[in-house]
Structure 1
Amino acid sequence: MAEPESTVINTDVKQKDPSEALVIAVTTRAIFNLEEEHQIYLEKGKEEYIRHQQANQDKPLSPGTAFAFIQAAQYANEKILESNPAEKGLFDILVLSNNSPESGVRIINSAKHYGVSAALVFQQEVQAPSTPLRVVFDGDAVLFSDETDQVFREQGLEGAMQYERVMEAVPIGEGPMKAFAMHLGKIRKKFSQEESPIRTYLVTARSGRDMGIRAIKTLREWGLAIDEAFFMDGAPKGPILAQIQPHIFFDDGLHNIQGAQDVGVPSAWVPTCC
């Protein structure tokens, strides 16, 4: 499925070494509401799509799901530059294109192949919450690897709990969003908790009593500071997400994505397979 041209939003500062800069790729149909235009493309073809875009080129597009996330990221960048002008380019933002499940998963898996954190944003109307930038991560198969999920599928809850007890001293494997979380954490450490332009959260289905210890030890081993961690013990995540009001929520479970959407939280799906 073809997509409109990519759009780039830059912070107008000189880019540093990519290894020192945080690059965020977001689809055009995630940052802008292009559902009407996308239907024109599907039903009437490329030429009619182009004519529609040209006829409406002076009309601003409505914001999409990730628009508030980009705004908050830019706000965080401003605070970083105020704190230390030498950090120019630390929070550069690149916006790409695609959010259909069919082709989106393919693009995400391609990105993951090259070690790039990626997720699929579903279109929804959201209200931009106040700053600072708030990012919520699921645990297994998102921030962490899916090793315990695999044990759960094969041996059930008791088997997974036993596995976690045996492996308590061994850090959990890295998940697809770990690199992104670590870069946020690197920026986060430059500020006190009260002054930080970024807040991060872990909202996981794990129980704090039986399966939370290994998760906490893993975060410590990684040196990743999370502002708040919520161990839901299988309870719905929607209510706590409604209280956090994040700019983006990453999860591998479509039922959790739906629960987040039901309470107006912008969500991004991290598929675990192709």
Structure 2
Amino acid sequence: MPATLNGQLVVAISSRALFDFEAENEVFEAHDDHAYMALQQRLLDEPAAPGVAFSLVKKLLAFNAGGTPRVEVVVLSRNDPMSGLRVFRSARHYGLPIERGVFTRGASPWRYLRPLSAQLFLSANDDDVRQALAAGVAAARVMPQAARASAAHPHELRIAFDGDAVLFSDEAEQVFQRDGLAAFQAHETQHAHRPLPAGPFKPVLQALHVLQQVPGMAVRTALVTARSAPAHERAIRTLMDWDIEVDEAMFLGGLAKGEFLREFEPDFFFDDQAGHVASAAQHVPAGQVAAGIASALPVKA
């Protein structure tokens, strides 16, 4: 019988999201893949430093303690196979039980998400993330220079999500962008009892809800949204309709999210708007979900 990943949360992650390969990437950008490969070969026995999503991956893999496979992490990377050796050696150095990887030497790897049955894809490559989202896979472009996760909660996985265009569809955001705040508030009040359609990260939240039932590692989730009363009600009622709970909800009414996330201390934060991600990345690991009408908005100075 062939191996199967059925029943597990499958997370695909690029090498730059898992490890800090920014110095190596500068060589690639300045020269070519041959120079990059030569550098990686010289550094083969030197473990790469943890990257922006390292804490997230380490804690997810901890749910497999006891021998029951619940989470599978697969490296899905534009790296060449030889450079992939350093990725696996670095993972082994840090005690990360990562066994599977796909290395495509510059070609987009997103097409392998389907045979992996991946529910989440994290990459520093914007095109790969957008293609994954278009294929129906929750995906985020990580900010490699973002702050690293706090070490204060070693036995608790903490993840924060934006609402519209992340957990929920961007139905309401379209009203806001087209007609303004007053129309948005009126629309959400009128439809408070009608659940919002699902966004790309609903399956991820559902998978975390399942992991919350596993003894040992804990899971703490937060909804961090620019919504405020009265538009808060539809978001909460939607989660109730899904029979999914979040531990914390922050209805910030347009306030910058970064300092609130600093206090929550997530292992990762997902948002669709570049400005919110930039604010968050000063304090916590963050990534942009390039989905919905607001994902292309410019960052305000």
Tell me which interval the TM-score lies in, with the shorter structure as reference length. Answer: 0.7 to 0.9
In structure 1, the partner of 2:109 is none
- For structure 1, the 5+ residue unaligned runs are 1-13
Match of 2:26 in 1: 39
Shift of 1:49: 1.3
1:270 and 2:292 equivalent? no
Equivalent residues in 2 for 1:139-218 (5 A)? 139-190=163-214, 197-207=218-228, 209-218=229-238
Contact 1:16-1:90 at 8 Å conserved across structures? no
State the 1:105 CA deviation: 2.8
TM-score normalised per structure 2? 0.76
Q: Which amino acid counterpart does residue 244 of structure 1 have in structure 2?
A: F
CA contact (8 A) 2:162 2:224 kept: yes
Shift of 1:120: 0.7
Shift of 1:169: 1.1
Separation in structure 2 between the aligned mates of residue 196 and residue 172 of structure 1, nearest angstrom: 30
Equivalent position to 2:75, from 90, 95, 113: 95
* Match in the other structure for 1:222: 242
Instruction: Give 1:210 deviation, angstroms.
Output: 0.8
Partner SS for 1:230: strand
In structure 2, how many angstroms separate the alpha carbons of the residues matched to 1:96 and 1:50?
A: 17
Matched residue type, 2:71: F
CA contact (8 A) 1:31 1:64 kept: yes
> What is the aligned-residue RMSD (CA, Å)?
2.0
Contact kept in structure 1, 2:64 and 2:71, CA below 8 Å: yes
Structure with the higher fraction of residues in strand conformation: 2
Instruction: Give the distance between the partners of 1:127 and 1:224, measured in 2 at CA.
Output: 25
**5+ residue gaps in structure 2?**
79-122, 297-301
Name the % identity. 34
Partner amino acid, structure 2, of 1:228: E
Q: Do the aligned residues in 2 keep the contact of 1:23 with 1:93 (CA within 8 Å)? A: yes
Q: Letter of the aligned partner of 1:23 in structure 2?
A: V
Take 1:51 and 1:35, find their aligned partners in 2: how far apart are those partners?
Answer: 16
1:5 maps to none
Q: Distance in 1 between matches of 2:214 and 2:262?
A: 28
Alignment of 1:87-126 (within 5 A): 88-97=68-77, 99-100=123-124, 104-124=125-145, 125-126=147-148
Q: Partner amino acid for 1:122?
A: M
- Are 2:263 and 1:243 aligned? yes
In structure 1, distance between residues paired with 2:161 and 2:130: 19
Q: Is the 8 A contact 2:150 2:266 kept in 1?
A: no
Distance 1:255 1:237, change over 3 A: same
Shift of 1:17: 4.9
Partner SS for 2:9: coil
How many angstroms apart in 2 are the aligned matches of 1:90 and 1:142?
A: 23
> Per chain length, whose mean CA-contact separation is higher, i.e. which structure has more relative contact order (CA < 8 Å, sep 6+)?
1
CA distance in 2, matches of 1:15, 1:257: 37
Contact 2:150 2:265 in 1 (8 A): no
Count of residue correspondences: 245
Matched residue SS, 1:173: coil
SS at match of 1:272: coil
1:145 and 1:186 mapped to 2: Cα distance? 22
Could you tell me which residue of structure 1 aligns to residue 117 of structure 2? none
Structure 1 counterpart of 2:287, one-letter code = A
Structure 1 stretches (4+) deviating beyond 6 angstroms?
none
For 1:108 and 1:27, the matched residues in 2 are separated by 11
